[in-house]
Amino acid sequence: MKEPFSWDHYSDQPSIIRDKRLKRKMRRSALPSLIKTFLIALLVLPIAFIVTFFLPRKKITGGEFFGMGVNLNNSPSIALEMIHELGVKKLLIRIPLWEMDRLDDYIAFIKSFKDYHITVALLQDRVHISNHTLTKRHLTQIFTSFEGICNTYVIGSTINRAKWGFFSVNEYLEFYAVAYALKKESFPNLKFIGSNVIDFELHFTTHTLFNLKDIYFDALGTLLYVDRRGAPENSQMGFNLMGKINLIDALMRLSFKTANELIITETNWPIKNTAPYAPTSEHECVSEEDYSAFMVRYHLLAFATQKVACVYWHQLIAPGYGLIDNREGTMRKRSAFYAYQTMLSHLCDAQFSSYQESKNGHTLVCSTPRGTLHINWTLTSTPIYTYKA
């Protein structure tokens, strides 16, 4: 990325745009799209809210539900070893479009994960948003290079944050349309995940799902962070994590622009005392103990909705938010690594049976080859996994 768009290698995300004049200029140019965004949301969201009460659960199994983000910046051999130990079989690997000179490294990295299901997340910059000819050329190169290795791609990320390069939904739809036209023309077997709005900002999601562009999402992706609200059971505008998922699912099912598959492509909590590696301020950070507890409960609640096909945890190795802290040249597995491993070992072959919330806590019941699994937890205790014949 070039200035004023630059990359923060500590938190592995774009830096805040310091050029206020540029931001004002770009936001003024995006005003027609922003007005359209709010008008569409004003019309559609009330309908989606009503629909949530009538939509049945799907059948999501544990074997397909768990996914993990892995970065090339980590040692390939160590990442492979840790993923094998963790037990997860679905991986999401980012490829920034401004790092095309490292494409061979990404190919070798992804090839090292044999027998894993790989999803590639293609990260945009302002150059590729503005230059569709360049975008088409680079996408063609990527899709051709990964033929037979990967067929699932997240097209764009965090589209409602200016530091990621987009200043309006219209800009994202035009960017996505380049990839979609290429798919129709030359790569019909690829699966594209869009629209990848971060946080619970449904006016942006709504606009991406209700438009007149010649596009289609093979799955709806969302970076459904809830870290700013603390625990996943906490509410925002009256919606806790399960309520948010139900409303996004309703929007998806009402739209003709997407298949009915909802994927959480990224989520986590930032960890205390890890600056400058934490992606937020210290105010939003949590202790390693809370990080572990919130992570497990996030997965259990999302699985209980039976409306999320997969949750990709962000991510395996990262000092500020990962399951493993790699500062000072060491690989320290946090308690969350073992909590994830335990959760996955119980739910990897589970089928949902029921979920109940009461004043005494939460109970998730699943059928497994080992018997009926009961998972009980409260907001102050770790989950207890028990089996009944």
pLDDT along the chain (389 residues), means of 10: 74 88 84 95 97 95 97 85 96 97 96 95 96 98 96 97 94 98 97 97 97 97 95 94 98 98 98 95 95 98 98 97 93 97 98 95 97 96 92
The span from the CA of 18 to the CA of 265, in Å, is: 28
pLDDT of residue 53: 94
What's the predicted TM-score (pTM) here?
A: 0.96
Place of tokens 């993990």: 68
Q: Which of 338, 249, 346, 240 is CA-nearest to residue 298?
A: 240
The span from the CA of 311 to the CA of 64, in Å, is: 9
Which residues, 6+ apart, have CB-to-CB distance to 280 below 8 Å? 227, 228, 270
Q: Using the 8-state DSSP alphabet, how is residue 317 labeled?
A: B
Q: Give the pair of three-digit tokens for residue 169.
A: 């939904």
The span from the CA of 248 to the CA of 258, in Å, is: 12
Q: β-strands 7-8, 13-14: how paired?
A: antiparallel
Q: Is 152 helix (H, G, I), strand (E, B) or coil?
A: strand
Going from N- to C-terminal start, the domains of the chain cover 18-350
Q: Which of 188, 161, 159, 163 is CA-nearest to residue 174?
A: 159
321 beta partners: none
Length of the chain: 389
pLDDT of residue 1: 46
* CATH class as words, domain 18-350: alpha beta
Q: Give the pair of three-digit tokens for residue 200.
A: 């619970």
